[in-house]
Structure formats: structure tokens, C-alpha cells
Amino acid sequence: MASASKKTGDEEVGRRIAERRGGLRMSREDLARSIGASYAMVAQIETGWRMPSYEKQLLIAKSLGARLDELFGEDDDLLEAPLDDSASSPPASAPAQVSEAFPLGELSAKKASGCARKRQGVSATSTLSAPSAPPSTSARPTFDEAVERAAAALRDLPPSRRLDALARLQLSVTREVVDEERRQTGYQRERSGWITELKPDEVFVFGSNAEGRHGAGAARTAYEKFGAEWGSGSGPHGQSYAIDTMSGLGVLRDEVATFLRYARRHPQLRFLVTPIGTGVAGYRADEIAYLFEDAPENVVLPAEFALR
């Protein structure tokens, strides 16, 4: 006879998730679909029976528009979450979804730092350093010190997580290098996914779904700040324009074509496009960018869709 499964969850964590989800008018089915899990898993998490894996924690926080520590507590608490889920796994594109709101490299470094602090017994405010590296006399570490510190942080992770952390660290560093090169060359393309206010002639263009449930990310910003209507997943509302990214690539292609026609008919407006489709919808930026090849000059694309 199989033994009963062991309780790994936390009732307080479950309560926070349920309250946040309820405040966004999301059902358990909605949350399960957005994180690539089953209804049963979400129910177990919210009742405190099961603690989600670290990857699922990232997806839950992204879907609910919350910080990781708001839902799951401090870093050291998060490290106790299991590494794998026995229920259905998220789509292969899930890490890219999370990166839109939570820079994965930063989170991995933060987690690695918390892991080192926990194992070495130092305070949460102390600086992670490699025991074998000599202290630097300058505020900025030398090249060798920086490499050794990163290596030491990775060594403190479980062996099964080191390659994943290294890949995320590489992604974070690459993005910083690219951004610095853009600043030095006068790169002016706007990252419209970060917009929190608009001029009177500007329109916020965001990815939505057929049901018009604007619960998280850019969609939530559009709903709370720029006049997007709950229940309407396509077209202009207030100072926003919704594009359905969740009904398949064919629908998305038609939605973008309709939007571009609308933009051409309104040359007096300036349309700021967020990285639509690259979050919960799971598309890569290059899969979406080509849809905007014929965009008029009053359509401002995010850096992720850079074409011109």
C-alpha cells in the first residue's frame, strides 16, 4: 500500500497566493493555466499542503504581478522549496516568460547568495566572498576576485542546479553588456514595457487574451493606468491597444495586421509596443518581431523587437 504523500507546503504562503489571485479576479484554473500546472496543484499550494518548486514560484509571482518575497518570504525560506514538481511541467518557454518581469540572472545570483549565507552562517546583509580570494583594497573587485566570487556562489548550489544558474548568470551579464553598448552608441529605442505614464498622444500597446483578463504584467498596467477594459482582449480602449497573443500564432498575426492598419489611420498618435507574446504566451522575440516589419513610423517597437 502506498504511503500518504508528505506535506511540504505552508498555509501562510497559500493564503497570500489565494488572496492575491482573488484580488486580481483570477480563478484557480486561470492561475494553473498561466504557470503550466494542474488545478489540483494550485489547490494543494493554496491550502498549504504543497510547496511549489523554485521555477513554479517564479511563474506564480509573475502571473500574480508580485515580488517573489511578497508571496514566499525571504530568500532562505525559498531555498527549502523542492527542486522538481511531480505534476505537469511548464512549457519549454517558461524561463523566457519569467524574465520579462524578473531578470533571471539577478534572481539566480540572489538565490546563490542566499544559499551561501545560509550555509556559512553569516548575516543577510553581509557580502558574499570567496574564502580563497584575498581581500581587495579597492571598492571594485579585481577580475580574478569577481570570477572567484561567482564560482564560490555557484559551488554553494546543489550540483543539479549549477549549470542552470551559470546559464542565467551568463544571460544577465550579456544583457548588461549589450545595454551598455547601446548607451555608448546613442541607442535610443524605447523599452516600452517599462512605461508607467503616457503623454496625451501616446498609446500603450500590450498583449492580452481572448477573455480580456488583464491580471498581470503589461496587461495589468494597461488596465490600471491606461484605460484597458476588463473583458475585452482586442483593440483600442482609453490610451491602450490590446492584442490577443494567447489564441495561437495565426490569430496573433491577424491581430498585429489589424493593429498596424489602425496605426496608419491614426498618424497623429504614437503607439508604444510592449514585448507582446514573449511572456505567458511563450513566443520568442524573433518569432514576433517579423510581424512588425511593415510598421509605420508612429509605431515604436521595444528593444527586443529591434528591426530598424
Q: In this structure, what CATH number is given to the domain that contains residue 257?
A: 3.40.220.10
Give the pLDDT score at 139.
Answer: 63
Please give the pLDDT value at position 234: 94
Assess whether 211 and 171 both reside in one domain: no
- 174 with 229, same domain: the answer is no
In a domain, 221, yes or no: yes
Question: What confidence category does residue 151 fall into, taking pLDDT thresholds of 50, 70 and 90?
Answer: confident
Regarding whether 177 and 272 lie in a shared domain, the answer is no
- 96-101: average pLDDT: 36
The pLDDT assigned to 2 comes to 44
What pLDDT is stored for residue 183 in this prediction?
Answer: 55
Residue 69 resides in a domain: yes
Please tell me the total count of domains within the chain: 3
Q: Where is the domain boundary, 44, 62, 90?
A: 90
Q: Give me the pLDDT at residue 153, please.
A: 85
Single out the residue in 184, 205, 235 at which a domain terminates: 184
Q: What is the pLDDT of residue 295?
A: 93
How far is residue 136's CA from residue 86's CA, in Å, rounded to a whole number? Answer: 46
Q: Could you list the residue range(s) of the whole structural domain that residue 65 is in?
A: 11-90
Average pLDDT over residues 9-34: 90
- 299 with 197, same domain: the answer is yes
Residues 108 and 46 in one domain: no
Query: Could you give the dihedral angle defined by the CA atoms of residues 108, 104, 97 and 8, in that order, rounded to the nearest 10 degrees?
Result: 20
139/162: higher pLDDT: 162
* Residues 141 and 228 occupy one common structural domain: no
- SS3 assignment, position 240: strand
Confidence of residue 67 (pLDDT cuts 50, 70, 90): confident
For position 178, what pLDDT does the model report?
Answer: 58
Beta strands in the chain (DSSP E): 202-208, 235-237, 240-244, 270-273, 299-300
Percent of the chain with pLDDT over 90: 31
Is 95 part of any domain? no
The pLDDT confidence band at residue 121, using thresholds 50, 70 and 90, is very low
Mark whether 208 and 279 lie in a shared domain: yes
Asked whether residue 248 falls in the same domain as residue 297, the answer is: yes
Considering only residues 160 and 45, tell me which one the structure prediction assigns the higher pLDDT: 45
pLDDT of residue 180: 62
- Give the residue with greater pLDDT, 269 vs 82: 269
**Does residue 96 lie within any of the structural domains?**
no
Same domain, 68 and 139: no
How confident is the model at residue 102, as a pLDDT? 37
Measured CA to CA, the distance from residue 200 to residue 121 in angstroms comes to 54
| Predicted confidence (pLDDT) at residue 264 exceeds the cutoff of 50 | yes
Task: Verify that 46 and 132 share a domain, yes or no.
Answer: no
User: Does one domain contain both 197 and 301?
Assistant: yes
Count the Cβ atoms, other than its own, within 10 Å of residue 91. Answer: 14
Average pLDDT value for the chain:
75
Q: Is the pLDDT of residue 91 over 90?
A: no
Average pLDDT rounded to a whole number, residues 38-64: 89
Cell of 78: 525559498
46 and 124 share one domain: no
> Which among 168, 184, 200 is the end of a domain?
184
262-274: average pLDDT: 95
pLDDT bucket at 168, cuts 50 / 70 / 90: confident
Cell numbers that stand for 121 in this block: 552562517
- Is 97 part of any domain? no
- Cβ count within 10 A of residue 282: 18
What pLDDT, on a 0 to 100 scale, did the predictor assign at position 205? 96
- 99 lies in some domain: no
Look up the CATH number of the domain holding residue 35.
1.10.260.40
Let me know if residue 215 belongs to a domain.
yes
Residue 298 within any structural domain of the chain: yes
pLDDT of residue 131: 44
Can you give the three-state secondary structure of the chain, one letter per residue? CCCCCCCCCCHHHHHHHHHHHHHCCCCHHHHHHHHCCCHHHHHHHHCCCCCCCHHHHHHHHHHHCCCHHHHHCCHHHHCCCCCCCCCCCCCCCHHHHHHCCCCHHHHHHHHHHHHHHHHHCCCCCCCCCCCCCCCCCCCCCCHHHHHHHHHHHHHCCCHHHHHHHHHHHHHHHHHHHHHHHHHHCCCCCCCHHHCCCCCCCEEEEEEECCCCCCCCHHHHHHHHHCCCCCCCCCEEECCEEEEECCCCHHHHHHHHHHHHHHHHHCCCCEEEECCCCCCCCCCCHHHHHHHHCCCCCCEECCHHHCCC
